[in-house]
Amino acid sequence: MIIFDTNAFNLVSPDSVKADIIRKIRKSGHQRVAVPWIVLEELAAHMSRHYPAQYSSTLRALEKLRNTVPWELESTLEPIDVERFLGYWRAAYADVFEVIETSGEVALKALAREAMALPPAKRCEKGDHSEGARDVAIWFSVLEFLKDNPDEHVYFVTNNTSDFGDGTVYEYPMDEDVRGLEHRLKRLKDFNDVVTTFTTEVSVESAAAAAEELLRSDVMREQVAQTAVEALDSEAGFPGLGASDTEIVWRTWLAAPDVELLSVKNVRGHEIDQHVWYTADVEWLLYGSAVSDDGESALSVACVWRMRILFSTDEKEESPTILSGAPCVPDAADERCMSIVQRLRQAAERLASRVTGDLAAAQELSASTASAATARLLTSLPKTDLAAISAYQSTIRALAERQTSLDLSELITPQTSAVQAALASMPKVSPTVLSVQQEIAKTIASSHRKFDFSEILTPRTSAVQAALASMPKVSPTVLSVQQEIAKTIAATQPKWDFSSLLAPRMTAVQAALASMPKVTSPRTQQEAEATIASSEKEPLDPAGPTRNAEETDTQQD
């Protein structure tokens, strides 16, 4: 682990070459590079230290201007926001370094040691007070990391020899702080020591040639296109050129754009643990379909994406790390850039024309296939004989009209003479006649041939889907006519409750059923009418049926 003190990276921009080298070291995985939390705060504070004063100065200048002009000044200044300013620089430096948290215990110990003015804190030369609590917090953060990570070695980068020593001899009480950890702690005095220790710089010519070859490869272009889809997405929008070379605003790509390399500049390479890592300033031309700024339409967009990237020729399958950059409008005066835009635009138009032609041909083929499939479906449907259905319905109506409506409520009490009178008045109806609708339904069902829709309904081809869309709507009544006829028969029949008649103790009911004549099942309308006409009401014998009649009836049931 390489841990930086504030002075070793103070006021260094996160976009600088030094920052790029640290990123290369981290990216290589050879070493971790970090700062304690208090160092991150100091780096952000040093970059923000002029902001409040500059804000106040601008506010005073704006007020002077407002008092000078003879009209109402429309210009305003947003409220000062120091925390926002600090937040920006915290995030920028956190992109360069890993951050080691400073614990509450470390902070308390640092304050206590500063109060005693013990190293690395110290007594101020002027005045009776001490300083250096932040230096103590940095020191304790390094030691805490060593204790929490017994397998790690730490390179502490600082040029503050007056407070932290030269790395060989430590003052009291720092000597006691580091006891037992000396062999795992080494000091580097500045950033150059880091470069010398962990990297070997590659010649500019070699770096430029290797970078040019890699960045022009198809693999790198595909990676940049995919990164553009993932990274370029903002409701605020990005600038670009539309189809007529007018400036437009777009939000995000609809698909991975076409990518062309425009330029590669400022290439630097460093070999780290036998791998070479490069940083470079690169310009890409992107062209494709993007979402408009209102989010309601698609646009053809061309833009230039300028970025500083970190990459390795040894990791060609890995996407480059974008260190900074944003899209901008292509320069209309750049003939090379605009010629590439025109070429990509023409290629997109040819592709769109070819796709449109292929789609039209596919639609014609699908329509023809759909018509043939529809014809096959219609020929496979069973032909329903409407005359037969009419005959069935006539038979049903005749049966319903000739049935006698019976009130069997008094049969619930079989001990009364009313039971015998009711049974005597009942027409002699065969159980087959009572279920004639079931026989008719079975006859219709068995007369229909079975057909298989599985091949037509297989959703694997667009032709089949088109055929199904073009099919006429088949009435469920035609497909299941037997069910409809059964419902019609059931609705025309009187509702009889024979539950009490079937009780085994009601011998009078059994005798009445045994004395009924047996009627043959009617198969046609004429037979059914003859059967109903021959059914006459015959009074039951008051003496009741014989035992033989009961046995005969039981066997028939």
Which of 121-135, 209-223, 302-316, 465-479 comes out lowest in average pLDDT? 465-479
Residue 427's pLDDT is 53
Cα torsion angle, 63, 66, 67, 72, sign: negative
Tokens of 280: 């470079």
Cis check for the bond before 173: say yes or no (omega within 30 of 0).
yes
Instruction: List, for residues 61-105, the tens digit of each pLDDT value.
Output: 999 998 899 998 888 888 999 999 999 999 999 999 999 988 888
**Alpha helices of 253-405 — where are they, by DSSP H?**
335-380, 386-402
Q: What is the DSSP string of 158-212?
A: ---HHHH-SSS---TTHHHHSTTTGGGEEEE-SHHHHHHHH-EEEPHHHHHHHHH
Average pLDDT rounded to a whole number, residues 173-190: 90
Strand, helix or coil at 322?
strand
| DSSP conformational letter for 539 | P
Q: What pLDDT does 394 receive?
A: 59
Task: Please tell me what DSSP assigns to residue 217.
Answer: S
- pTM score, whole prediction: 0.52
Backbone angles phi, psi at 309, to 5 degrees: -125, 160
Q: Contacts for 89-94 with beta carbons within 8 Å, 24 or more apart?
A: 89/43, 89/44, 89/47, 89/48, 90/40, 90/41, 90/44, 92/14, 93/14, 93/35, 93/40, 93/43, 93/44, 94/40
Backbone angles phi, psi at 154, to 5 degrees: -115, 130
Q: Do residues 271 and 205 lie in contact, with contact meaning Cβ atoms separated by under 8 Å?
A: no
Q: What is the pLDDT of residues 21-38, one digit of tens each?
A: 898 889 888 889 999 999
For residues 261, 267, 268, 271, the Cα torsion angle rounded to the nearest 10 degrees is 30
First to last CA, the chain: 97
pLDDT at 318: 64
Local confidence band at 153 (pLDDT 50, 70, 90 cut-offs): very high
* DSSP H/E element including 433: helix 431-434
3-class secondary structure, 530: helix
Q: What is the pLDDT of residues 35-70, one digit of tens each?
A: 999 999 999 999 999 999 999 999 999 999 988 999
How far apart, in whole angstroms, are the C-alpha atoms of residue 524 and residue 65? 111
pLDDT band at 439 (very low <50, low <70, confident <90, very high): low
User: What's residue 344's pLDDT?
Assistant: 85
pLDDT bin (cut points 50, 70, 90) of residue 456 is very low
CA dihedral for 143, 148, 151, 152, sign (positive or negative): negative
Q: What is the pLDDT at residue 434?
A: 43
Average pLDDT over residues 248-265: 91
What pLDDT score does 246 carry? Answer: 87
- Confidence (pLDDT) at 498: 42
Residue matched to tokens 């049969």: 411
Percent of the chain with pLDDT over 70: 62
